[in-house]
Amino acid sequence: MEFAEFAEHAAAVEATSADTEIRDAVVDLFEESGEQLPVVVRFLLGRVFPAHDSTKLDVGPRLCYEAIARAAGQNVTADDVEDRLAEYGDVGNVAASYDLGGQRGLAAFGAGGRDGLTVAEVADRLTELARASGDGSQDTKLDVLFDLFNRADPPEARYLARLVLSEMRIGVGEGTVRDAIAEAFDVPVGSVERALQVSNDYGLVAETAREDGVAGLDGMALEVGRPVQAMLAQAGTVTGALEDWGEAAVEIKYDGARVQAHYDGETARLYSRNMENVTDPLPEIASGVAASLSVPAILDGEVVAIDEDGQPRPFQAVLRRFRRKHDVAKAREAVEIRFHAFDCLHADGTDLLDDPLVARHDRLASILDPAANVERSELWTADDPEEIADIEARAIDSGHEGIMLKNPESPYTPGKRGQNWRKRKPDVETLDCVVTGAEWGEGRRANLLGTFELSVRGPDGYETIGKVATGITDEQLEALTDLLDPYVRAEDGTDVDIEPAVVFEVGYEEIQESPTYSSGYALRFPRFLDVREDKDPDDADSLSRVERLVEE
């Protein structure tokens, strides 16, 4: 296909605004693309390479302006090109505003009077440009671009410039391309969508749909070495997760950087969340993954920076490892890291995307033997909010960010920010409550106060609003028992009546109306945060503040 023809179609799409007409125009283009279909599909999305391929053109606007200026003639400078941006709106329109090719002799024209640039040739030359590296690479890139612009007529120059700077601006997004593939080759959108998830290559999916139809699409599978988009999380609450799923899979939320590890049986390659190959900056993780796995696999996880005691450090530290492309050894010395694998997308030739989370995690456990710098993240299933609160308290206590709640039955959906993974929302508000009662613990904790009754100030005295038993370590329980002991007024079995004296700061997810407590409200998912030593019971929160919070 001639690049001029591609440009003509792109212009037709750009001139259209209704979604269905845009899709029809894209379908037309797909039907006429012939052998070049995969390239055309990528070009439409402003890409030269598939999404899983992190090869970059690495062409900045300035280099593009220079190439256009050179092709526009001796009197034009890169500054002139840049100056036209304000008037013409974007680099494509600026490129199209010049009579490019003044530098070529008449002999350069083919028989038809035009120097036919093909789609394939543009793709090949841009691949060559992307490969240029090291000293002199900018000159090579400039030469390639100049040559391409020099042979382009105005519509070609418009889309060439935009392609080079990865901004096609013709109103075609990934959704349009997905729908157009389905329509052009008469295959179900669902099959196209799934094939895109596993391959991350719009060009390959279009070609497969055309050549092998729905069977071809459904047969597409993950490939070790071809990264897929990460499954993402939404914010959510423990109470919401338990209501929706009955029980939740709970994991530590690590404060680091997402990494997908691909092990082919010999070596491991690592990819960042935006699918850049980050194997080189993280060599000890790559070798650790290879050492820990017994079969080829694709793992999902988080790389965390750790201090000399193995405690997690804030995620800014890990970023220093990612940024460092050259002096890796030095960066490695400064920032020690660890990979927490929390999911398994593929193991030993089998894709696991459609398996339930708990089954994928079991598979992970069966193939991963922890090695240096590599650990398997633990997954707990729980239906009791208190148990979840305990896991969260332990996670935070050991320096992690918090917890993730996952639907135990859910598949792995690449690129989706759905409801199946939820990061527990941090508490927006906390309440300062007076401790008015407690219960003695059981078993090992029989000598310690365990559950604490919480109250707020009402017009006629303290009114109960909940009980807190979680978020408290054994050490803290001992300190709290000592602190409350002087205020014990009466005991009845394990129940203890306590004189209002001590104020707890508590976190919660929600306040609900409830007949259980005398305030008429109950805290959902209450957690102990701290003792407010600076506060007397008179300074604790009031029932009217609770009422205001409920109304908000």
Q: Is the dihedral of CA 250, 362, 228, 339 positive or negative?
A: positive
CB of 232 to ligand AMP, least distance (A): 6
Residue 38 vs 301, nearer CB to ligand AMP: 301
Q: Which is nearer to ligand AMP, 242 or 404 (CB)?
A: 404
Closest to 383 measured CA to CA, from 408, 364, 410: 408
Both structure tokens of 149: 């612009």
Query: Of the candidates 318, 325, 425, 422, which has an alpha carbon nearest to the alpha carbon of residue 373?
Result: 318
Provide the H-helix boundaries in 351-492.
357-367, 385-397, 474-484
Min CB(258)–ligand AMP separation in Å:
4
Q: Give the residue from 499, 522, 532 showing the smallest Cα distance to 433.
A: 532
Q: With respect to ligand AMP, which residue has the nearer C-beta, 102 or 415?
A: 415
Least Å distance, CB 252 to ligand AMP, is 6
All residues at 6 or more sequence positions from 399 whose CB lies less than 8 Å from its CB, including other chains: 311, 312
We find the least distance from the C-beta atom of residue 402 to ligand AMP, in angstroms, to be: 9
Rounded to a whole number of angstroms, the minimum distance from the CB of residue 511 to ligand AMP is: 25
292 token code pair: 């820990």
When the beta carbons of 132 and 232 are compared against ligand AMP, the nearer one is 232
Helix (H, G, I), strand (E, B) or coil at 151: coil
Classify strands 248-253 and 380-382 as parallel, antiparallel or unpaired.
antiparallel
Closer CB to ligand AMP, residue 393 or residue 543?
Answer: 393
What whole-number distance in Å separates Cα of residue 89 and Cα of residue 92? 8
- Cβ 352 vs Cβ 295: under 8 Å: no
What is the full DSSP assignment across 203-238? HHHHHHHHHHHHHHHHT----TTS--PPPEEEEE-H
Cα–Cα dist 301/340, whole Å: 5
d(CA 342, CA 429): 31
Q: How far is the CB of 281 from ligand AMP (least distance, A)?
A: 17
Catalytic residue among 253, 325, 416, 423, which? Answer: 253
* Interaction site with ligand AMP (CB under 6 A): 230, 232-233, 251-254, 258, 302, 342, 377, 404, 423
Name the minimum Å distance from CB 392 to ligand AMP: 13
373 closest CA partner among 476, 473, 256: 256
Q: How far is the CB of 293 from ligand AMP (least distance, A)?
A: 19
Residue with smaller CB distance to ligand AMP, 125 or 425: 425
Has 253 been annotated as catalytic? Answer: yes
Q: How far is it, in rounded angstroms, from Cα 184 to Cα 167? A: 24
In the bound complex, which residue of the shown chain has the CB atom lying closest to ligand AMP? 258
User: Closest CB to ligand AMP among 422 and 457?
Assistant: 422
Q: Please give the Cα distance from 41 to 30 (Å, whole number).
A: 8
DSSP for 84-145 reads THHHHSSHHHHHHTS---TTS-GGGS-TTSS---BHHHHHHHHHHHHH--STTHHHHHHHHH
Q: How far is the CB of 340 from ligand AMP (least distance, A)?
A: 7
Nearest Cα residue to 392 out of 354, 363, 422, 361: 422
180: nearest Cα among 352, 357, 31, 350? 31
Residue type at 356 in one-letter notation: P
Tokens of 475: 């050490």
Nearer to ligand AMP, 95 or 391 (CB): 391
Q: Which helix (H) or strand (E) holds 304?
A: strand 297-306
Catalytic residues: 253
